[in-house]
Amino acid sequence: MFNVRKSVVLGIFFAIMLCELLSYFTFLQPNLQQIIFLFIIFIVLYLTLKKLSYGLIFLISELAIGSFGYIFSYPVGNFVISIRIAIWFIVLFVWFLNFVRNPKFYFQIFKNNKKILLIFTLFFVFLFIALVLGLVHNERVNVFYDFNSWLYLLLFLPWLFFDKKYLLLLWETLVSASLWLFLKTTFLFYIFSHQFTNLSQSLYFWTRDYRLGEITYAGGNFWRIFLQSQNFILFMILVLAAFIFLRKNQNRNKEFYFNGFILFSSFVTIIISYSRSFWLAMVVTFFLLVLFVWKKYGFKYMWPKFCLCMSIGALSLMFVYLIVNFPYPPISGSTGLIMNRLQNASGEAAGSSRLNQLKPLGQAISKSPLIGSGFATNVTYLSNDPRIKAMSVNQSGWYTTYSFEWGYLDMWLKIGLFGLGIYIWFIGMLILKAYNNNQLFSHTLIFGVLSIIITNVTTPYLNHPLGIGLLFILLVGNHNMYETV
């Protein structure tokens, strides 16, 4: 499974690059945006009608590079159709057509997965309750924007019918997307840290206006290049680290070095993301992986693999340092920024604002802890974010919102303890199925998804397509075609 076809990886990589360049081109020439959008949709529709699995791979490709889904869009009046919504609709539409044509086959698949489908259906009951509560008590426009991400979970049904012979192609897509995110992140990092003013200005507004990520100054020469889709990079780090730890016979061949490079490039991308949530999830999940392997195989087996991963991580740090201090064009250097980022967790605006949410969220949850208060439930807290302070009354920093960084508390507030518990049960079923499958690839995926589960504590992903999409990969990774653990 990890022996990818290099020609396929390069082909997908250049296709992703072309999409990004076209997106940037539509930013520079907005009149062409609708034409390019329709052209891409036509390709997706044609290939999905040919094979549903192609459409599902397109879904993952878009998630891995699109962040909030607006890398391409089509305005219709006051509403903007994102490429993510369009592909979501195409896949569900084609899946439904196939269901109508061959209902017996579909019902057989449902029968084989009836337990997890029951949990899935039960969870949507609680989502519906939260939707009704939100429509009754909260502003309806906000309810729609707060609820619509959960509709992505409906794609669980088409993913049950993913053709396993395309699983290698799905993995090659993830590898290609990881390589592209590495190239894009390091390119933006170099452009901004070395102050290419004209180019950096257009790249900044393209990234911001298309909601592809955040580019912020972090001090010295260091710029934070945070793309929400980098959660796929975090996922890849843990999958590849688990592959190194769990595969007993590692031949030092081309595949070994290629996977080592993917791990190295993924480390570099996560460092430049400057995200404490990603760093914390990576460290905790890696620690759990080490403990698991130590307990199962012993210290002598674990230690050289641990040293290998740590060495790759150290090389990644050195590479980031070299980018910052590359002599062309000449700039003044700055060191210690990553250490400052770790040490200043409570005092920094984002970190302290996140902590300030805890007490108000707890008070709001206590009003209806079991079934929740519904989507778009507002909570007011004191923010230290300079942008929010500037917009608040008398620049006091008091901010009212229905969107929160604490992912599990956000869900608890809106769908209640029952709804949150069923969702965790659903995820647990996917993990247990992968573990019981006793396949190397399935076990590596568990650690990748576990990193996103931990990230969701302080940065919401599991209530967003970016996190839900990784659950789908875990679902289809349960196969019996490849190497056992």
Q: What is the pLDDT of residues 183-193, one digit of tens each?
A: 999 999 988 88
Residue 307 has which token pair? 């040293």
CB atoms within 10 A of CB 328: 6
Neighbouring-strand partners of residue 399: 381
Average pLDDT over residues 45-49: 95
Task: Spell out the alpha helix ranges (H) of 274-406.
Answer: 276-297, 299-324, 337-343, 349-356, 358-365, 386-391
Question: Are the beta carbons of 241 and 447 closer than 8 angstroms?
Answer: yes
What is the SS3 assignment for 117?
Answer: helix
Question: Are the beta carbons of 262 and 428 closer than 8 angstroms?
Answer: no
* Band (389; pLDDT cuts 50, 70, 90): low
* Band (481; pLDDT cuts 50, 70, 90): very low
Please say if the pLDDT value at position 2 is more than 90.
no
Distance from C-alpha of 249 to C-alpha of 226, rounded to nearest angstrom: 36
Please name which of 277, 409, 410 lies closest in space to residue 350, comparing C-alpha atoms.
277
Range among 232-236, 250-254, 377-381, 477-481 rated most confident: 232-236
pLDDT value of residue 335: 45
Distance from C-alpha of 435 to C-alpha of 444, rounded to nearest angstrom: 9
Q: How many CA atoms lie within 13 A of 210 on its CB side?
A: 29
pLDDT value of residue 479: 56
Judged by average pLDDT, the poorest of 54-63, 257-266, 328-337, 382-391 is: 328-337
What is the SS3 assignment for 400?
Answer: strand
* Band (78; pLDDT cuts 50, 70, 90): confident
Residue 338 has which token pair? 């990553």
Average pLDDT over residues 165-182: 94
Burial (CB < 10 A; 0-12, 13-18, 19+), residue 50, is exposed
pLDDT value of residue 77: 78
Task: Give the helix, strand, coil percentages of the chain, each rounded to 5.
Answer: 75, 5, 20
Please say if the pLDDT value at position 347 is more than 80.
no
Torsion, Cα of 323, 327, 331, 332 (10° steps): 80
Judged by average pLDDT, the poorest of 214-218, 344-348, 469-473 is: 344-348
Distance from C-alpha of 129 to C-alpha of 124, rounded to nearest angstrom: 9
Percent of the chain beyond pLDDT 70? 89
Distances (CA, A) of 105 to 98, 112, 480: 10, 11, 21
Task: Spell out the alpha helix ranges (H) of 325-439.
Answer: 337-343, 349-356, 358-365, 386-391, 407-436
Judged by average pLDDT, the poorest of 46-60, 243-257, 370-384 is: 243-257
pLDDT value of residue 394: 59
Burial (CB < 10 A; 0-12, 13-18, 19+), residue 137, is middle
Q: What is this structure's pTM?
A: 0.89
Distances (CA, A) of 164 to 56, 110, 125, 433: 12, 17, 30, 16
Please say if the pLDDT value at position 156 is more than 60.
yes
Q: What is the pLDDT of residues 141-154, one digit of tens each?
A: 889 988 999 999 99
* Band (110; pLDDT cuts 50, 70, 90): confident
Q: What is the pLDDT of residues 196-237, one digit of tens each?
A: 777 888 899 999 999 999 988 877 777 889 999 999 999 999
Average pLDDT over residues 321-328: 79
Percent of the chain beyond pLDDT 90? 57
Lookup result for tokens 């449902």: 110
Please say if the pLDDT value at position 251 is more than 80.
no
474: left (phi over 0), alpha (psi -120 to 50) or beta: alpha
pLDDT value of residue 351: 65
Please name which of 54, 333, 379, 86 lies closest in space to residue 220, comparing C-alpha atoms.
333
Distances (CA, A) of 229 to 89, 270, 320, 446: 21, 11, 20, 19
Residues 6+ positions from 182 with CB-CB distance below 8 Å? 233, 265, 266, 268, 269
pLDDT value of residue 395: 60
The residue length of the chain stands at 485
